[in-house]
Homo-oligomer: A and B are copies of this chain.
Amino acid sequence: EERYESLSPSEFFYRNREIAGFSNPTRALYQTVRELVENSLDATELHKIPPDIKIIISIKEPPDLVSILVEDNGIGIPHEEVPFVFGRVFYGSKYVLRQSRGVFGLGIKMAVLYAQITTGKPIWIRTSTMNSKIIAEYRIKMDISRNMPIVISANFRKKRSKWHGTIVKLITKGNWTLARRRIEDYIRRTAMITPYADIYFKGPDVELIFKRNTRKMPTPPKVGKPHPYGIDLEMLRRLIEIHNRNITLRDFIMKCFEGVGEGIAHNFLEWARLNGDKKLKDLSTSEIENLLNKMKSYRGWRRPRALSLSPLGEDLLRKGIERILSPEYVVTVTRKTSSYSGNPFIVEVGLAWGGKIPMVRSPILYRFANKIPLLYDEGVDVARQVVDKIDWSLYRVKFPAPLAVIVHLCSTKVPFKGVGKEAIADVVEVEKEIENAIKEAARSLRKYLTLIERKRALIAK
């Protein structure tokens, strides 16, 4: 009667591709640009390479056959990794505790899949890593039912230059006419949040050139360890399993968890009434469960630190806002590290006033998460909810007013509402930090507005 089946991950996302942002040719074109650009920015910035990103969109065949090419000067992809990177869903290098744009190991595969099912064409890649002596060139499709790559062609040639980086080209069904505004908006906002990047975009009758206005870059994040508040039984069980079973409990918690030094380890073990000298291999299942409960309820752990994060900083954020919005006044605030459920995060906010910013009835909101511009689903984003609850009159802002709010959330785990990365869920700690950051910036804005009101009053006399 009922027929029971198993689906591979690629099969699942083929059937439910709208959940990843590939619902129709307009949205798919936008999402494809995003996936490629975000990969290129990670490949450069995470390795402190000043990004040079080239994006070229052309109409291959009217009305809706579109070619997209993205080139970067990043670290490249090891040639033996290329087939899985482009042809296997849930494959990537971002599965570690470190702030990056990529997190799911899915993005580029969705673009490959959509191009393949609408045009039958493979993705084309040229790439070379920094130390490699060869340049690899591949054409790849996906075996969707098995979640495996199909290598259509693979060519390798000697590298005669110092070139490193990746060029990716796709031919896909896409609606440039309907998608262009969002794509241009996305690229503009990308330039806002990465003022140290050179971005060149060429589309059908449009050319956008953003030259870096600074060579200063944020410090790349380092891979971190889990924090006691972020663990569960599965994680704890695995950490114990992969470690030298002769290790003591004390050494284990110091080695495996974020911010646990000798002093804290000692205090915790005493409070929890656990024997720190007990060997890991001697822990029973119920003792492991007890350890978990004690670790989650102990209040003396250090707050998670910012080593695995990479905020812009107030100076770079200001530069990016000035470059794109040309305001009369900008204030930026980068908050201290906070955390939710053991995941460290930092909120950065900018308020931009006047200049080229239009008069609006409520603040224009620019949302970013891990330096990704978020353009859709503003209605359910926590940032919009905070902006709407602020009483702006307390800061001498009377609408209509030329006010833009820029909110940037950095985290090892951004609480995205979906795999399409469009909106941030209303996690209480994040909401509070966004509110505090906006109010902190708004107090500076108030000083400025008070100042120019006084000047006007003086001039008026």
Identical chains in the assembly: 2
Would you call A96 an interface residue if the criterion is a C-beta within 8 Å of the partner chain's C-beta atoms?
A: yes
Docked-complex contact B19 and A105, CB < 8 angstroms: no
Please indicate the chain B residues that have their CB under 8 angstroms from the CB of A88 in the complex.
6
Would you call A358 an interface residue if the criterion is a C-beta within 8 Å of the partner chain's C-beta atoms?
A: no
Docked-complex contact A233 and B120, CB < 8 angstroms: yes
A43 to B, closest residue via Cβ:
B2
In whole Å, how far is A233's beta carbon from the nearest beta carbon of chain B?
5
Docked-complex contact B234 and A14, CB < 8 angstroms: yes
Which of B4, B90, B419 contacts A81, CB < 8 Å?
A: B4
Would you call A289 an interface residue if the criterion is a C-beta within 8 Å of the partner chain's C-beta atoms?
A: yes
Would you call A18 an interface residue if the criterion is a C-beta within 8 Å of the partner chain's C-beta atoms?
A: yes
With contact pairs A144-B234, A419-B19 given, residues A12 and B14 touching in the complex (Cβ less than 8 Å): no
**Which residues from 79 to 126 on chain A have a C-beta closer than 8 Å to any C-beta of chain B?**
81, 84-85, 88, 90-93, 95-96, 104-105, 116-120
Please indicate the chain B residues that have their CB under 8 angstroms from the CB of A85 in the complex.
4
Select the residue from A2, A23, A24, A84 with max chain B CB neighbours within 10 A: A2
| CA gap between A120 and B285 in the complex, in Å | 9
Please indicate the chain B residues that have their CB under 8 angstroms from the CB of A232 in the complex.
117-118
With contact pairs A18-B415, A19-B416, A418-B19 given, residues A9 and B117 touching in the complex (Cβ less than 8 Å): no
Task: Provide the A120-162 mask, 1 if CB < 8 A to any CB of B, else 0.
Answer: 1000000000000000000000001100000000000000000
Docked-complex contact B117 and A4, CB < 8 angstroms: no
With contact pairs A144-B234, A380-B380 given, residues A3 and B117 touching in the complex (Cβ less than 8 Å): no
| CA gap between A456 and B234 in the complex, in Å | 67
Task: Provide the A5-46 mask, 1 if CB < 8 A to any CB of B, else 0.
Answer: 111110110111011000110000000000000000000000
| CA gap between A119 and B341 in the complex, in Å | 17
| CA gap between A419 and B118 in the complex, in Å | 24
Instruction: Given A1-B75, A9-B90, A120-B289, output 13 extra A-B contacts at Cβ < 8 Å.
Output: A5-B92, A5-B95, A5-B105, A6-B84, A7-B91, A7-B95, A12-B104, A16-B104, A23-B425, A24-B341, A116-B233, A117-B232, A418-B418
